[in-house]
């Protein structure tokens, strides 16, 4: 892509390409950030340090993600297990506040982004990076959450957002990955949805989801069992709280992260926690998301009943 195609900086924290030398990339191992890792090296002629944050995303193999980052040229790859901090410092206050947006969205992405940005600042400073890169698009709230956090905590660090710059759609990204030998999850069958998940929920965007007349298709549900396929027999569960903190499930005392994971497993098995939602975005858009929130659907409702 020609260098003159880059977006013009409109905020003081956005990076001047001439001043970008080492970039801390928030790296998930998915299509967007894998293309980004290679693209930053080529377009900015910069070194890249990859940072992957574990907030309880189900089914991830972090050794594979780390190996892929190094294969694509990262000079360092760090994997941070932030599940405990996320659960206690972000999710737990939300439970105590019965925090839910628009009667359906328990804010799992909104809660996770400031923590991810805070960790990006810490590791950027540790590794001598001058810039932080993220994979947010120009149409969502995440860009604001991450960039505002970075600008507040580390005004000396700059930000680049390649997805806002490069003008590639999903098919162009896949073509770029194939051209540059970038392994893609699923091989040739790339997932058609943009996914974000952690221990408090999962969201899916893209493809038919933005068509309001289109009923949810089966392949979008990768966490919660579709109700028509859930067990016919119900299951009664009991959650014990101590001063607003969930401390036991079905009589078994558990630490917060295992309790939330167990609640998610039970809810997902029984088809609990599917939300078809229209979100108002700070950039002025209304966007449809499909949420899978089995843990939140159980724990938040139980806490509200107190």
pLDDT tens per residue across span 252-268: 999 999 999 999 999 99
Annotated active-site residue in 78, 83, 142, 204: 142
User: Which pLDDT value is given to residue 1?
Assistant: 46
Looking at residues 62-79, what average pLDDT do you find? 96
pLDDT at 59: 87
pLDDT band at 195 (very low <50, low <70, confident <90, very high): confident
Structure confidence at residue 167 (pLDDT): 78
194 part of the active site = yes
Is pLDDT at 193 greater than 90 in this prediction?
A: no
Q: How far apart are CA 208 and CA 196, in angstroms?
A: 17
219 catalytic per annotation:
no
196 counts as catalytic? no
Single out the catalytic residue among 78, 83, 113, 202.
Answer: 113
Q: 194, 196, 203, 289: which is the annotated catalytic residue?
A: 194
Determine whether 76 is an active site residue: no
Give the pLDDT confidence of 215-234 residue by residue, as tens digits: 888 899 999 999 999 999 99
Indicate which residue of 28, 32, 204, 289 is catalytic.
32
pTM recorded for the entire structure: 0.91
Mean pLDDT of 150-168: 93
pLDDT band at 189 (very low <50, low <70, confident <90, very high): very low
Q: What is the pLDDT of residue 188?
A: 45
Domains of the chain: 3-179 (3.40.50.620), 194-305 (3.90.1260.10)
CA angle 32–34–36, rounded 5-degree value:
70
The lowest-confidence range among 153-157, 171-175, 247-251 is 171-175
């Amino acid at each position: 892509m020609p260098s003159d195609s880059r977006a013009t900086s409109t905020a003081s924290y956005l990076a001047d390409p001439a001043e970008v030398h080492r970039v801390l990339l928030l790296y998930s191992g998915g299509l967007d950030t894998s293309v980004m890792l290679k693209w930053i090296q080529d377009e900015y002629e910069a070194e890249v340090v990859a940072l992957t944050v574990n907030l309880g995303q189900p089914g991830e193999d972090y050794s594979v993600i780390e190996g892929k980052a190094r294969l694509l040229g990262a000079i360092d790859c760090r994997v941070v297990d932030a599940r405990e901090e996320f659960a206690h410092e972000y999710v737990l206050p939300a439970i105590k506040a019965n925090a839910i947006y628009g009667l359906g969205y328990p804010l799992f992405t909104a809660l996770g982004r400031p923590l991810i940005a805070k960790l990006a600042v810490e590791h950027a400073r540790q590794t001598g990076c001058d810039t932080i890169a993220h994979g947010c698009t120009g149409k969502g709230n995440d860009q604001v959450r991450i960039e505002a956090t970075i600008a507040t905590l580390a005004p000396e660090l700059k930000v680049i957002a390649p997805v806002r710059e490069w003008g590639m759609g999903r098919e162009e990204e896949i073509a770029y990955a194939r051209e540059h030998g970038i392994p893609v999850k699923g091989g040739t069958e790339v997932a058609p949805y943009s996914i974000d998940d952690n221990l408090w929920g999962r969201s899916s965007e893209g493809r038919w989801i933005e068509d309001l007349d289109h009923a949810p298709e089966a392949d979008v549900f990768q966490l919660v069992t579709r109700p028509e396929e859930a067990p016919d027999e119900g299951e009664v569960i009991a959650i014990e709280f101590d001063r607003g903190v969930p401390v036991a499930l079905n009589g078994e005392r558990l630490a917060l992260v295992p309790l939330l994971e167990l609640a998610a497993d039970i809810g997902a098995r029984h088809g609990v926690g599917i939300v078809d939602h229209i979100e108002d975005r700070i950039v002025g858009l209304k966007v449809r998301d499909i949420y899978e929130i089995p843990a939140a659907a159980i724990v938040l409702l139980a806490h509200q009943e107190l």
